[in-house]
């Protein structure tokens, strides 16, 4: 669906995207990275608003630059404003749908349908200036899906939403994915993306660091130590047990918690039930702080900066 | 411990619109998160606390000072970090913090010395000598945080302190907030939409919706499910494990992302679970007590029907 | 002890007075304004007329001892000034003490009204417009008023910033001129004869400072763009002076005489001339009756500007 081939984009001396090569089949992806990491540049390259300085961008096999036919298959939901204050949500979506190339009557119906889907049935004829933040985000989403595209691109859609707004936007996007459509969601906050999809792309400084699901990436990071916290009634005996079995080379005890650093977390998980039964040690709680996407990304960024061998 | 802040039946009307409806709450030292949908009255509440707005009715106090009568003394003891990007143009970072300190009655030279000290704590290096207009979003946020902290107030009101920050910066900001609360006994009122932050640092949670307090309680109490249960993640094959648990006489059900929830008291349950795992040769990735998710708590609190009096 | 000062430290020292926080704001404003190289040049330029007037003081004092110089004095001053009704009479007074008082009053009046008055318009136009409009634009009110700072302190601090620079170009050089005159004077009774002049200088400076600073800051508080405030400021002066000149020329043409009543009537339109009128009363050159309209205008402007200023400061907080 998306193909980038050694794409670099420079703004004068400022780097936007740096030698990015990427090939994504249809599906739902989270585009994650810190502020200023090149997410907006990448999205602009995909929607054809920017041209790569070096390299080639292909969406659905074609260059998105000035490609009206391709635009009909793409829906773009921008992050920053860009809404007109005085018109109603309905008028705005209808106008943009007509710009997409729809006839007046088709645009009318499309606007109405999409606004109902995003839950703006009652408010669609009020002026946009009266809308709350969440409602404006929903109008932008309606505009993006009105022409029933195959691929939806969203730039920080949760920005400024309260938890209710976030939850509702999340459900809408999950519905979208449920219909079998594709989606690329750019955000700098992991937990926003985690609930929608588990395939992600991590970028930093305009470079693609990793892509895939958390499990896939984890499996590749063999030598990165994981920290597992175990709450048990007998931490010292458990500690000696783990050392004996050479599952860990460093651990510490904090009251009744044993915090174990291991390079073989899965071996630990598989063997632990047997060892506990053998030595009659009971464990009340166990979890790995590194399981989270956040911790994974921290490790990846450290490796990227040369802080971790 | 007597609460640092007590509000009783605070109401604020703008003409016919009621922005705050008989809000009563208590805030103790530690971290209290203030949550609520946009327009629920959070910013009005903060302005009433700071004395920028006068409550239509109700009483309140911060330490021994009365709301509405001792506004100056209250503001001396509150550090406010606004959400909006606000700054004093033309000043450098350290000059801005010094100016803020002086407005809070720190004497001249002491204010400069203290400004440097606070900027050290906030992780700002040589960039403190550059003008604020050259700062990135993250640096401006650090600066606002420093300005709120420079006069060592016992109460800090932080409005979205981590929004717009990168994950690493978010963690350090939360870490600083924790240090101030745990090691220095400050009361911190944290207003944010970012639920994972609330989960990570809060001692207490207040949820405001449609101008009224819906929930005001300690987080650990709120997180307790009504019936205790354990949540398990296995390496693979959650359905097989769930079946084995059922056969061992435990009540197990599978939830989102393959999480298995088993009802019962934690201690005896854990022993049985490990036994089953051993016999079935299934590895366990994590085992922890179930907690109510903050998102669920929030959504159910906000969707409550208002009672007949409102 | 190996660990000395690690991490966050609490602060429990002695606080400064709560009533002088406006001084902090004024100092910050003064320092900020001084960063402008234009302002530094202006300050230098603003003291040049003082040199000229100092020379005139010297010449007049000298002429008391050297009688022949008296007549020549008239030719030094510019045409329009030396034909002012009161001035010619003054230069003819015989009694030295009375003459000194009169001549000095006139010189100080001319200095403050004409040369420093014009410079004042420029200087305030440089300093004042950004003072509040920048705070509005950068949303700094949240930072100010979440602290123990009352609105009056904020307003006073900003006003004091403008007053400081105005004093530097009006009262300060005028007082220096007075001291110079005292030092140059051959008479032993000079201070006894002219003790009221320093007070009048201060009063005239106050007349120059107060309505103008209030008006300028009022404009600054009404917009986020300091250039609109600056534009508005200069427009008020230029339009007023222009109207005054036009209307007085027309009327005096029609009546074929130079009547002070006409001048006084039209001075209410022009701020510059209103200020001049009231200053002439301060220096006892006109009676209050003659300047009451101008005084009323200035008072109204001061009050209205201050009220608007206060309202503009409070508004963003209630939002």
**Which residues in chain C have Cβ-Cβ distances shorter than 8 Å to B73?**
148
Nearest neighbour of C7 by CB, restricted to B72, B104, B121: B121
Residue in this structure with the two tokens 């949303």, named with its chain if needed: C139
Q: Which residue of A has its CA nearest to B138?
A: A35
Kindly state whether C315 is in contact with chain B, defined as any CB-CB distance less than 8 angstroms.
no
The mean pLDDT of B207-215, rounded to a whole number, is: 89
Residues 193-222 of A with CB under 8 A from B: none
Answer whether B179 sits within 8 Å of C7, measured CB to CB.
yes
Q: Which string of b and e fits B165-190 if b means at least 16 CB within 10 Å?
A: bbbebbbebbebbeebbeeeebbbbb
Tokens at residue A184, please?
A: 């690329």
Tokens at residue A239, please?
A: 């500690």
Tokens at residue A286, please?
A: 């166990």
Kindly state whether B164 is in contact with chain A, defined as any CB-CB distance less than 8 angstroms.
yes
Q: Which of A282, A279, A277 is nearest to A232 (CA)?
A: A282
CA distance B31 to chain C (A): 17
Q: What local confidence, expressed as pLDDT, does residue A261 receive? A: 87
Asked if residue A155 lies in contact with residue B283, where contact means CB atoms within 8 angstroms, the answer is no
Q: Which of B105, B106, B157 to mutate to test the interface with C (most CBs of C within 10 A)?
A: B105
Q: What local confidence, expressed as pLDDT, does residue B207 receive? A: 93
Kindly state whether C142 is in contact with chain B, defined as any CB-CB distance less than 8 angstroms.
yes
- Rounded to 5 degrees, φ, ψ at B11 are -125, 140
Residues C52, C115: Cα–Cα separation, whole Å: 10
pLDDT, tens digit (0-9, with 9 covering 90-100), for A43-79 = 999 988 889 999 999 999 888 888 888 888 898 888 7
Nearest neighbour of C317 by CB, restricted to B52, B102, B176: B52
Question: Does position B308 have pLDDT exceeding 50, yes or no?
Answer: no
Answer whether C143 sits within 8 Å of B86, measured CB to CB.
yes
- For CA atoms C237, C243, C248, C249, the dihedral sign is positive
Residue A188 banded pLDDT, cuts 50, 70, 90? confident
Q: What local confidence, expressed as pLDDT, does residue A309 receive? A: 63
Residues A277, B275: Cα–Cα separation, whole Å: 7
Give the relative orientation of helices C48-65 and C69-76 as an angle to the nearest 10 degrees: 160
Residues C257, B248: Cα–Cα separation, whole Å: 119
Q: Which of A191, A208, A199, A219 is nearest to A292 (CA)?
A: A191
Q: What is the mean pLDDT of chain C?
A: 83
Question: Does position A95 have pLDDT exceeding 90, yes or no?
Answer: no
Q: What local confidence, expressed as pLDDT, does residue C230 receive? A: 92
DSSP 3-state of A231: strand
Residue in this structure with the two tokens 């943009």, named with its chain if needed: A96
Nearest neighbour of B37 by CB, restricted to A164, A283, A291: A164
**Which residues in chain B have Cβ-Cβ distances shorter than 8 Å to A273?**
274-275, 277-278, 282-284
Number of DSSP helices (H) and strands (E) in chain B, helices first = 11, 14
Kindly state whether B295 is in contact with chain A, defined as any CB-CB distance less than 8 angstroms.
yes
Q: What local confidence, expressed as pLDDT, does residue B210 receive? A: 87
Q: What is the DSSP string of A93-139?
A: HHHHHHHTT--HHHHHHHHHHHHHHTT-TTTTTSBGGG--HHHHHHH
CA distances, A239 to each of A246, A253, A263 (Å) = 11, 8, 16
Kindly state whether A84 is in contact with chain B, defined as any CB-CB distance less than 8 angstroms.
no
Number of DSSP helices (H) and strands (E) in chain C, helices first = 17, 0
Q: What local confidence, expressed as pLDDT, does residue B309 receive? A: 39
CA distance A58 to chain B (A): 30
Percent of chain A beyond pLDDT 90?
9
Chain-centre distance for alpha carbon A96: 27
Percent of chain C beyond pLDDT 70?
87
Answer whether C318 sits within 8 Å of B73, measured CB to CB.
no
**Which residues in chain B have Cβ-Cβ distances shorter than 8 Å to A291?**
285-286
Kindly state whether A287 is in contact with chain B, defined as any CB-CB distance less than 8 angstroms.
yes
Nearest neighbour of A285 by CB, restricted to B167, B289, B295: B289
Answer whether B52 sits within 8 Å of C149, measured CB to CB.
no
Q: What is the mean pLDDT of chain A?
A: 85
- ipTM score here? 0.83
Greatest Cα pair distance, chain A, in angstroms, is 76
Q: Which residue of A has its CA nearest to B278?
A: A273
- Rounded to 5 degrees, φ, ψ at C77 are -75, 150
Kindly state whether B105 is in contact with chain C, defined as any CB-CB distance less than 8 angstroms.
yes
Residue B310 banded pLDDT, cuts 50, 70, 90? very low
Q: What local confidence, expressed as pLDDT, does residue B117 receive? A: 92
Q: Which string of b and e fits C108-126 if b means at least 16 CB within 10 Å?
A: bbbbbbbbbbebbbbbbbb
Residue A294, CA atoms < 13 Å, CB-side half-sphere: 15
Residues C54, B290: Cα–Cα separation, whole Å: 89
> CB atoms < 10 A from the CB of C57, how many?
24
CA distances, B93 to each of A89, B135, B140, C263 (Å) = 42, 9, 9, 53
**Which residues in chain A have Cβ-Cβ distances shorter than 8 Å to B285?**
269, 288, 291
pLDDT, tens digit (0-9, with 9 covering 90-100), for A14-26 = 888 888 898 999 8
Kindly state whether C140 is in contact with chain B, defined as any CB-CB distance less than 8 angstroms.
yes
Q: What is the mean pLDDT of chain B?
A: 88
pLDDT, tens digit (0-9, with 9 covering 90-100), for C290-313 = 778 888 889 999 999 999 999 988
Of A86-90, A220-224, B140-144, B273-277, where does the model show the most confidence?
Answer: B140-144
Q: Where are the beta strands (DSSP E) in A214-272?
A: 226-232, 250-254, 257-262
Residues C150, C217: Cα–Cα separation, whole Å: 17
Give me the total of CB pairs closer than 8 Å, taking one residue from chain A and one from chain B. 94
CA distance B251 to chain C (A): 50
Q: Which string of b and e fits A95-118 if b means at least 16 CB within 10 Å?
A: ebbbebebeeebbbebbbebbebb
The mean pLDDT of B153-161, rounded to a whole number, is: 94
Asked if residue A190 lies in contact with residue A294, where contact means CB atoms within 8 angstroms, the answer is yes
Q: Which residues of chain C fall short of a pLDDT of 70?
A: 1, 66-94, 257-260, 317-319
pLDDT, tens digit (0-9, with 9 covering 90-100), for C28-48 = 999 999 988 989 998 888 888
Answer whether B85 sits within 8 Å of C8, measured CB to CB.
no
The enclosing H or E element of B232 equals strand B229-234
The mean pLDDT of A272-282, rounded to a whole number, is: 87
């Amino acid at each position: 669906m998306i193909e980038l081939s050694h794409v670099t984009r420079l703004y004068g001396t400022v780097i936007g995207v740096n030698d990015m090569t990427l090939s994504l089949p249809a599906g739902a992806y989270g585009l994650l990275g810190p502020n200023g990491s090149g997410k907006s540049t990448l999205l602009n390259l995909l929607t054809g608003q920017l041209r790569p300085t070096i390299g080639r961008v292909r969406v659905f096999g074609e260059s998105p630059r000035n490609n009206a036919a391709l635009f009909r298959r793409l829906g773009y939901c921008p992050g920053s404003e860009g809404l007109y204050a005085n018109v109603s949500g309905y008028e705005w979506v209808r106008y943009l749908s007509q710009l997409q190339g729809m006839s007046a009557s088709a645009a009318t119906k499309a606007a109405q349908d999409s606004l109902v889907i995003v839950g703006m049935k009652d408010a669609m004829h009020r002026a946009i200036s009266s809308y709350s933040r969440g409602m404006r985000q929903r109008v932008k989403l309606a505009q993006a899906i009105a022409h029933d595209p195959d691929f939806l691109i969203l730039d920080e859609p949760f920005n400024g939403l309260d938890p209710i707004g976030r939850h509702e936007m999340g459900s809408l996007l999950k519905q979208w994915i449920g219909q079998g459509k594709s989606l690329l969601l750019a955000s700098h906050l992991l937990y926003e993306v985690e609930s929608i999809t588990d395939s992600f792309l991590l970028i930093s400084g305009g470079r693609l660091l990793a892509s895939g699901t958390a499990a896939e990436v984890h499996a590749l990071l063999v030598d990165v130590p994981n920290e597992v916290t175990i709450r048990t009634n007998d931490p010292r005996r458990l500690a000696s047990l783990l050392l004996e079995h050479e599952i860990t080379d460093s651990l510490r005890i904090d009251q009744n918690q044993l915090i174990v650093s291991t390079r073989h977390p899965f071996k630990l998980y598989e063997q632990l039930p047997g060892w506990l039964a053998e030595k009659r040690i009971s464990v009340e709680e166990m979890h790995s702080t590194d399981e989270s996407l956040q911790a994974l990304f921290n490790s990846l960024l450290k490796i990227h900066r040369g802080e971790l061998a | 411990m007597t609460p640092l802040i007590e509000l009783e039946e605070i109401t604020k009307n703008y003409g016919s619109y009621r922005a705050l409806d008989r809000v009563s709450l208590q805030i103790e030292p530690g971290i209290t998160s203030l949550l609520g949908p946009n327009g629920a009255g959070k910013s009005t509440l903060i302005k009433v606390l700071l004395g920028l707005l006068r409550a239509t009715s109700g009483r309140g106090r911060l330490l021994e000072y009365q709301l509405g009568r001792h506004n100056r003394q209250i503001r001396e003891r509150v550090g406010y970090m606004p959400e909006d990007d606000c700054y004093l143009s033309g000043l450098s970072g350290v000059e801005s913090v010094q100016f803020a300190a002086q407005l809070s009655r720190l004497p001249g030279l002491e204010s400069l010395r203290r400004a440097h000290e606070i900027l050290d704590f906030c992780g700002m290096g040589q960039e403190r000598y550059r003008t604020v207009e050259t700062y990135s979003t993250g640096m401006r946020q650090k600066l606002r945080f420093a300005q709120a902290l420079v006069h060592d107030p016992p109460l800090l009101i932080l409005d979205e302190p981590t929004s717009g920050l990168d994950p690493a910066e978010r963690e350090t900001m939360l870490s600083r907030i924790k240090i101030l609360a745990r090691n220095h006994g400050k009361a911190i009122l944290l207003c944010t939409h970012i639920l994972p932050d609330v989960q990570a640092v809060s001692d207490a949670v207040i949820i405001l919706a449609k101008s009224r307090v819906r929930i005001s309680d300690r987080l650990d109490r709120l997180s307790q499910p009504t019936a205790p249960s354990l949540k398990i993640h296995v390496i693979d094959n959650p359905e097989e494990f769930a079946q084995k648990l059922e056969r061992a006489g435990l009540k197990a059900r599978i939830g989102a992302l393959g999480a298995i929830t088993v009802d019962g008291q934690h201690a005896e349950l854990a022993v049985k679970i490990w036994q089953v795992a051993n016999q079935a040769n299934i590895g366990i990735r994590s085992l922890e007590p179930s907690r109510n998710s903050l998102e669920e708590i929030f959504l159910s609190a906000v969707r409550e029907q208002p009672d007949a009096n409102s | 002890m190996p660990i000395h000062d690690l991490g966050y430290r609490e602060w429990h020292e002695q606080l400064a007075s709560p009533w002088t926080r406006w001084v902090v704001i004024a100092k910050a404003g003064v320092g900020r304004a001084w960063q402008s190289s234009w302002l530094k040049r202006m300050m230098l330029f603003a003291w040049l007329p003082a040199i000229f007037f100092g020379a005139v003081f010297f010449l007049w004092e000298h002429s008391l001892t050297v009688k022949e110089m008296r007549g020549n004095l008239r030719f030094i001053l510019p045409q329009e000034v030396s034909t002012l009704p009161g001035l010619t009479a003054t230069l003819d007074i015989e009694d030295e003490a009375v003459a000194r008082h009169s001549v000095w009053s006139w010189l100080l009046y001319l200095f403050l009204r004409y040369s420093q008055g014009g410079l004042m318009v420029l200087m305030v136009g440089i300093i004042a417009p950004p003072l509040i409009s920048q705070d509005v634009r950068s949303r700094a009110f949240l930072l100010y008023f979440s602290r123990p700072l009352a609105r009056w302190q904020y307003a006073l601090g900003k006003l004091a910033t403008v007053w400081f620079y105005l004093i530097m170009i009006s009262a300060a050089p005028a007082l220096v001129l007075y001291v110079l005159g005292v030092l140059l004077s051959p008479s032993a009774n000079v201070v006894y004869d002219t003790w009221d002049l320093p007070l009048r200088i201060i009063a005239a400076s106050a007349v120059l400072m107060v309505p103008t600073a209030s008006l300028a800051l009022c404009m600054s508080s009404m917009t986020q763009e300091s250039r609109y405030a600056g534009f508005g400021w200069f427009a008020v002066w230029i339009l007023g002076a222009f109207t005054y000149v036009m209307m007085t020329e027309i009327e005096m043409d029609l009546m074929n005489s130079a009547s002070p009543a006409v001048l006084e009537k039209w001075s209410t339109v022009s701020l510059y001339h209103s200020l001049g009128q009231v200053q002439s009363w301060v220096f006892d050159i006109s009676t209050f009756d003659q300047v009451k309209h101008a005084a009323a205008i200035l008072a109204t402007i001061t009050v209205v500007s201050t009220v608007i200023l206060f309202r503009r400061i409070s508004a963003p907080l209630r939002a």
